[in-house]
Amino acid sequence: MAPENKPNPPKLDMFDAVAPTEQNDRSLLMPFAQLVEKLTNYEKQQVDHKTGLVMTIEQLTVDMPIELKVIVNNDGKVNIKGSPPTQLVKTTVMPVFHQMRLRIVRDGD
C-alpha cells in the first residue's frame, strides 16, 4: 500500500481531559484524566487540631472496578472515559467492568 493511502492510526491520549467528543455522549462517565485527578486529590497531611497529632500519607493504593468507554472521533482521536460502576441494580445487560489499580507514592523531598 502506498504511504499516501495508509490509514492513520487513532491518536490515543488517555489524559486529554479537554478533548471534546464528537458524538452525543449522555453517559455518566468522566474523561479518564478527570477520574485520575479525583482519585489522586487528597490531603497529604491529616491534622488533629485537638491533640496536635499529624499523620503524613506517603503511599496510597486504590484498587477498584471501573467502567470504561472508548470513543473514536471522526478525526481519529480516541477519548477514554471512566468512572466507578454506575449501575446499582443488576440488569440483563450489564456494562463491562475493568479493574484499575492506582498507586500514589510521595516524592522523597
**DSSP notation for 64-95:** EEEEEEEEE-TTSEEEEEEES----S--SSPP
Instruction: Give the Cα separation of 78 and 86 in Å (integer).
Output: 22
Does the model's pTM come out above 0.75?
A: no
Q: Give the pLDDT confidence of 18-52 residue by residue, as tens digits.
A: 445 445 556 678 888 888 888 888 888 889 999 99
Alpha-carbon dihedral sign for residues 77, 78, 83, 85: positive
Looking at the domain assignment, is residue 1 inside a domain?
Answer: no
Looking at the domain assignment, is residue 77 inside a domain?
Answer: yes
Which residues, 6+ apart, have CB-to-CB distance to 98 below 8 Å?
65, 66, 67, 68
Confidence (pLDDT) at 104: 84
Looking at the domain assignment, is residue 29 inside a domain?
Answer: yes
Looking at the domain assignment, is residue 3 inside a domain?
Answer: no
Confidence (pLDDT) at 108: 66
Instruction: Give the Cα separation of 60 and 98 in Å (integer).
Output: 20
Q: What is the mean pLDDT of residues 86-107?
A: 79
Q: By residue range, what is the domain housing residue 49?
A: 8-105
Q: Give the pLDDT confidence of 79-96 residue by residue, as tens digits.
A: 889 888 877 777 777 777
